[in-house]
Amino acid sequence: MSSRILTTWSPEDQAFWEREGKAIATRNLWISIPALFLAFAVWMVWSIVCVNLPLIGFKFDANKLFWLAALPGLSGATLRIFYSFMVPIFGGRKWTAISTASLLIPAMGIGFAVRDLNTSYSTLLILALLCGLGGGNFASSMANISFFFPKAQKGTALGLNAGLGNLGVSAMQFIVPLIITTGVFSALCGDPQMCVIKGEVRPIWLQNAGFIWVPFIALASLAAWFGMNDIASAKASFSEQAIIFRRKHNWLMCWLYLGTFGSFIGYSAGLPLLTKSQFPGINPTQYAFLGPLVGALLRPVGGWLADKLGGARVTFWNFIVMAAAVFGVLSFLPHGGAGGDFWGFLAMFILLFATTGIGNGSTFRMIPVIFLTERQRDAAGKGAAAEEQAVKDANKEAAAVLGFTSAFAAYGAFFIPKSFGTSITMTGGPDAALYGFVVFYVSCIALTWWFYARKNADVPC
């Protein structure tokens, strides 16, 4: 059998872990992270491309631009539903390599499409949907990494994978505005588009927003294929994994993770256009990367805090701060076309992103603990074999739940920017959407307290 298939894998066995497990798990984690980083970069690239389309001559109104920013979220979330179950079916190594290589399709497609002003809106919509391939990767990546680490280190490992992977959003929003201003790749990527910025004619190579990722995607795909492992004991059919749909805590954690990750990815997708609409004199691409950067960097901190203090406690207080931060955003918005404070607005959004990062880490620490606790309760008093099987079942269920909750939460990447666009169209401002988010965060506070954080909760974690 291939050495890339691990026939024995017992991370909870301390001797095995120290002897060989830790080194293998660490290698798989550090190959997974850059692959996930690139997936997030491609998934969210439209948040920056959309802002620049009107500058180079595409005649789209604000609503059409918000649709282009939102559609990768819709397709990415939907693909995550299927990607959630792929690792136990195909193996983590194979699926990581294949799913990473698939990012070449939208990256190259964007590069060719934006060079031609005759490219139809429907073609751009299709490319926006294809960027959802990057969004789908998160579900399978997190499910895969969860198999490699023992319970005591899952929060930190998943936080690193997701947090450093999430950095792809911030890195993209920082790199793309810079790379589109240079013709260093013009011999390969084509001539610039001329645009007028503050009365000055400047060249922009918007195609670089797609082409820049191509060589890195190719390298990451090869690294995954030759450097990662499949775990034989993690094999499971879809029907075996589908038991999670009968687990109450799967649906509860979907709701909570929608509050954290759905907010992170939704604000990442919608903030540049929201800034442009509310503060027209500000160039949003100069600041868009800051929020996702803070959120991504704090995700591992959230996982670490949850390992130390308990996931439910961290999640509960985190949602309270999230709701308060939205009220802060509301207080700094312009009203009636006047007033507003951009720096206060930006500061409140950075606080929001910080809480999404901490909450992402803490909720993903909760999931493995919840399902291990439940399966061990079921096996209590039934003997060593039943207890050993309970751990295996819990790992498979938790991996599927990690993937499925990430699929559910990823719809935030569609609904948040679309909510901003709809609110602005119907009421003249984003306030209605923001008040709706506050109501949602209050529901998350109540659910976290009742089921996980209070005394005598169903599953204290």
Please give the structure tokens belonging to residue 204.
């922009």
Range of 38-47, 53-62, 274-283, 333-342 with top mean pLDDT: 38-47
pLDDT over threshold 90, residue 358: yes
pLDDT tens by residue, 293-306: 999 889 888 988 99
Q: How far is CA 180 from CA 50, 192, 380, 454, in A?
A: 13, 9, 60, 51
The answer to whether 276 and 431 have CB atoms below 8 angstroms apart is no
Confidence tier at 187 by pLDDT (50, 70, 90): low
Q: Measure the CA angle with vertex 240, ends 402 and 88; round to 5°.
A: 55
The pLDDT of residue 17 is above 80: yes
pLDDT band, residue 392 (cuts 50/70/90): confident
Q: Of 72, 74, 216, 84, which is closest to residue 138 (Cα–Cα)?
A: 84
pLDDT (average), residues 78-102 = 90
Give yes or no for residue 9 having a pLDDT over 60: yes
Residues in CB range of 17: below 8 A, 6 or more apart = 10, 11, 150
Q: Are strands 193-197 and 5-6 parallel, antiparallel or unpaired?
A: unpaired
Mean pLDDT score, 345-358: 96
- Count of Cβ atoms closer than 10 Å to residue 382 Cβ: 11
Q: Write the pLDDT tens digit of every residue in 104-143.
A: 999 999 999 988 888 999 999 999 999 999 988 988 898 8
Whole-number average pLDDT of the chain: 88
Q: Which residue has the higher pLDDT, 42 or 47?
A: 42
Q: What is the pLDDT of residues 55-75, one digit of tens each?
A: 888 888 877 888 898 899 889
Decide: helix, strand or coil at residue 6: strand
Between 140 and 316, residue with greater pLDDT:
316
Q: What pLDDT does 202 receive?
A: 81
**pLDDT class of 435 with cuts at 50, 70, 90:** very high
Average pLDDT of the residues in 228-243: 79
Give the residue-averaged pLDDT of 171-198.
79
pLDDT (tens digit per residue) in 436-448: 999 999 999 999 9
pLDDT at 1 over 60: no
Residue range 242-262: mean pLDDT, rounded: 92
pLDDT in tens, 189-214: 777 777 766 667 788 888 999 999 99
At 59 the three-state DSSP class reads coil
Higher pLDDT, 430 or 204: 430
Residues 108 and 114: their CA atoms lie apart, in Å, by 11
* pLDDT > 90? residue 432: yes
Q: Under DSSP, is residue 320 helix (H, G, I), strand (E, B) or coil?
A: helix
Q: How far is C-alpha 113 from the chain's CA centre? A: 25
Task: Give burial (CB, 10 Å; 0-12/13-18/19+) of 8.
Answer: exposed
Structural contact between residues 356 and 266, judged by C-beta atoms closer than 8 angstroms: no
